[in-house]
Chain A
Amino acid sequence: MKTKDDYESFLQLSAVITGYQRVDLLGTGVAWDYFTSFCSIVGKSISDELWQKSSKLLKRHKSNEEKLEKAIRVELLSDNKFGPLVRNLIKLWYLGQWDELPAHYRVTYGTTSKDVSHILSGDSYKEGLVWEAIGAHPMGAKQPGFGTWSSPPKPPDID
C-alpha cells in the first residue's frame, strides 16, 4: 500500500517538475521503471523521505498549482538534500539518463553503487520527454515516416 502511495507521489511530483501531465508520463510506459530505479539508485531511506516530503507538499497545495510549484522550488529544488535528487529526476524524465549525483551530495548523504551515469534502458532513451518537447524523434527509433523531414519540427503548444 505504501509503495502504491509512494508511486503516486512520484508521479505527481514528476508532473510538476516536468510540466507534463500525469497521464502523459504514464503514457511513456517507463514510469514504474523510473520509480523503482530511482529508489534503488538513491537508496530506500532517502527516497522514502523524498516521497513523504512530496506527499505533504502535494496535499498542502492540492488546490493551488502556483503555490505547489513554488513550494517544490523552495522546499525541494533548493534543498541541499532533495535538490540534486529532484534535478536528477527531471533529467531522467527528459533524457532517460541517470547522472551520477554531485560529489558533495555523495559525501554528505551517501548513495549506492548503482549511482553511476548511465542510460537507464533502450526504452528510456526512446521515451525521453525531450523529443516531444522539441518536436523531434529519438534518432534511430520512433521513426516519423518517409518524407516527414521536409516539414519543420512541431513542438507542442505551451500554455
Chain B
Amino acid sequence: MASKTKKRKNRRPQIHTFKSLYEHLQWAIEVEHFTIPPYLCALWSIKEGTNPEAIEAIQSVVMEEMLHMTLVANLMNAVGIHPEIDRPGFIPKYPCRMPHSGDHFKVSLERFSKKAIHTFMDIEEPKKSGSPARAHHYHTIAQLYDAVAEGLEYLVCEHGEKKVFKGKSHCQVTPQHYYGGGGFVFTIDSLEKAQFAVREISEQGEGKVPDKIGTGSVFDGDEHFGQPPEPAHYFRFNEILLGQKYVREDTPISGPSGALFDVQWREVHQMQKNPKVKFAKSIPIRNKMNAFNEKYTELLRRLERAFSGEPHLIQKAVGQMFQLKYQGIELMRIPIKEGSKTMVGPSFEFYSPA
C-alpha cells in the first residue's frame, strides 16, 4: 500500500492542484509582461532612421510577447480565472530578476547596447535537451511552460477535461478582437488547444526543442500562427549581436550564414539606466514621466478588463499602445538636466494619482 502511494506521488507533476495551476498561470502572464518594458526601452532608444534590422527584430519580438500575454490570458479564461494585471505588484521594479525564476541575472530598463542584447538572450535562452519541467526556480521560460503543460494534463486525467476547462467562452480574445500582432490568437477550450498554445509560446521564444544539444532549429513554428517562420527570439537577438541573418539551414551550432547587416551601436539616445520618477531632476520632467506612467497604467487597466470578459476593449487598447510609444520616444530625447547628454527615458512604474 505504502509503495503504491509512493508510486502515485512520484508520478504527480509539480503542478497538481487547481490552486497551483492558477498561481502558475498568473506567473506566466507576469513573465510575458516582464520582458516587454526592457525590450521597448532598447527599441525606442534607437535613433530614427538607423538600425532598421535591429528595430525590425526587437519590434517583432515585442509583438510576439504581446501575443503570448493574450494567449496566456485566454488559457486563464479557459480554466475559469482572470489575470490580475491592474495592480502595482504586477509591474516589476527594474532592475530585477525574472519573476519566480531561479536565475540570478538582473534585467534593467536600458538603452540598446550589446550588453542589453546579451541580457535579452539570457531571458530567451533555449532549454537544454532533456532539461526537466520546473514550476519553481525555472532557468528557462520553457521549463515553466512545460510544468504548466504537465499540470494541465495531470488535472485533466484526474478530474476530466470539463472540470478543468470550465471558463466562459465569451471571455476569450479571438481574431475578431486581435489583429495580426505577432500572429493569430485562438480560442482555448480544450487540453489539446492549451498544449498547442503553450508549445507555440515556447517555440517563438526559444526555437524548436533540439533532439540533441545544438542541432535543433533556430526557427519558430510560426506557420501555425499564419506567419512565415522566423528565428526564435533568442536567435533573432543573436542576429543583432553578430550582424548577420539566419537562413533555414542554420543550426544553433552553425550560427547564422545569411545576409550581413550593419549595427550602429552608437546611433542611440543615451537613456539613463532604470529611470525612476522619484529621481527626476525637475518638476516638468517628473510630470512628463508621470504622464507616461499614467498612460501605461491605464493600458494595463484596460487590458485587465479586456482579459476579464470584455475582449472588445483590446481594440481600444491599440491606440493607447501607440500613444505610449510616442510618449516613450519623447522621453528618450529629453536630457535629465540642462546640458546633460544622458536622457530621461520611460520608467514603466505603476501610476496612482496623489
Cβ proximity bits B271-290 to A, threshold 8 Å, 1 near / 0 not:
00000000000101101100
Q: Is B48 an interface residue (CB 8 A)?
A: yes
Q: Is A29 an interface residue (CB 8 A)?
A: yes
Chain B interface main SS type = helix
Q: Is B326 an interface residue (CB 8 A)?
A: yes
**Contacting residues of chain A (6-41) with chain B, CB-CB under 8 angstroms:** 8, 21-24, 26-29
Q: Are B318 and A146 in contact (CB under 8 A)?
A: yes
Q: Are B315 and A146 in contact (CB under 8 A)?
A: yes
Looking at the assembled complex, report how far the CB atom of A153 sits from the nearest CB atom of chain B, in whole angstroms. 11
Size of the B side of the interface (Cβ < 8 Å), in residues, is: 23
Q: Is A63 an interface residue (CB 8 A)?
A: no
Looking at the assembled complex, report how far the CB atom of B324 sits from the nearest CB atom of chain A, in whole angstroms. 10
Cα distance, A143 to B339, chains bound together (Å): 31
Which among B32-40, B206-214, B327-335 touches the partner chain?
Answer: B327-335
A143, A144, A145, most chain B CB atoms within 10 A: A145
A27-B288, A28-B333, A146-B179 provided; 14 other pairs, C-beta below 8 A? A4-B339, A8-B338, A21-B284, A23-B285, A23-B334, A26-B334, A27-B334, A144-B322, A144-B323, A145-B319, A145-B321, A145-B322, A148-B318, A148-B322
**Contacting residues of chain B (127-158) with chain A, CB-CB under 8 angstroms:** none
Chain A residues engaging chain B, CB cutoff 8 angstroms: 4, 8, 21-24, 26-29, 123, 142-148, 151
Cα distance, A145 to B179, chains bound together (Å): 11
Closest to B181 in A: A146
Cβ proximity bits B159-186 to A, threshold 8 Å, 1 near / 0 not:
0000000000000000000010000000
Looking at the assembled complex, report how far the CB atom of B280 sits from the nearest CB atom of chain A, in whole angstroms. 10
Cβ contacts under 8 Å, B288 to chain A: 23-24, 27
Looking at the assembled complex, report how far the CB atom of A102 sits from the nearest CB atom of chain B, in whole angstroms. 33
Cα distance, A150 to B203, chains bound together (Å): 36
Q: Are B322 and A151 in contact (CB under 8 A)?
A: no
Cα distance, A43 to B334, chains bound together (Å): 28
Looking at the assembled complex, report how far the CB atom of B5 sits from the nearest CB atom of chain A, in whole angstroms. 56
Cα distance, A147 to B318, chains bound together (Å): 8
Looking at the assembled complex, report how far the CB atom of A93 sits from the nearest CB atom of chain B, in whole angstroms. 15
Q: Are B330 and A27 in contact (CB under 8 A)?
A: yes
Closest to A142 in B: B326
Q: Are B318 and A26 in contact (CB under 8 A)?
A: no
Q: Are A26 and B319 in contact (CB under 8 A)?
A: no
Closest to B327 in A: A27
Residue in contact with B284 in the complex, picked from A23, A142, A147, CB distance below 8 Å: A23
**Contacting residues of chain B (296-343) with chain A, CB-CB under 8 angstroms:** 315-316, 318-319, 321-323, 326, 329-331, 333-335, 338-339
CB within 8 Å for A145 and B326 given contacts A21-B284, A23-B284, A26-B334: no
Looking at the assembled complex, report how far the CB atom of B116 sits from the nearest CB atom of chain A, in whole angstroms. 21
Cα distance, A143 to B322, chains bound together (Å): 7
Q: Are B48 and A123 in contact (CB under 8 A)?
A: yes
Interface pairs (26), CB distance under 8 Å: A4-B339, A21-B284, A22-B284, A23-B282, A23-B284, A23-B288, A24-B288, A26-B333, A27-B330, A27-B331, A27-B333, A27-B334, A28-B330, A28-B333, A123-B48, A142-B326, A144-B322, A144-B323, A146-B179, A146-B315, A146-B318, A147-B319, A148-B318, A148-B319, A151-B316, A151-B319
Cα distance, A123 to B282, chains bound together (Å): 27
Cβ contacts under 8 Å, B326 to chain A: 142
Cα distance, A22 to B285, chains bound together (Å): 10
Q: Are A26 and B322 in contact (CB under 8 A)?
A: no
Cα distance, A24 to B287, chains bound together (Å): 11
Cβ contacts under 8 Å, A29 to chain B: 48, 329-330, 333
Cα distance, A4 to B339, chains bound together (Å): 8
Cβ contacts under 8 Å, B318 to chain A: 145-148
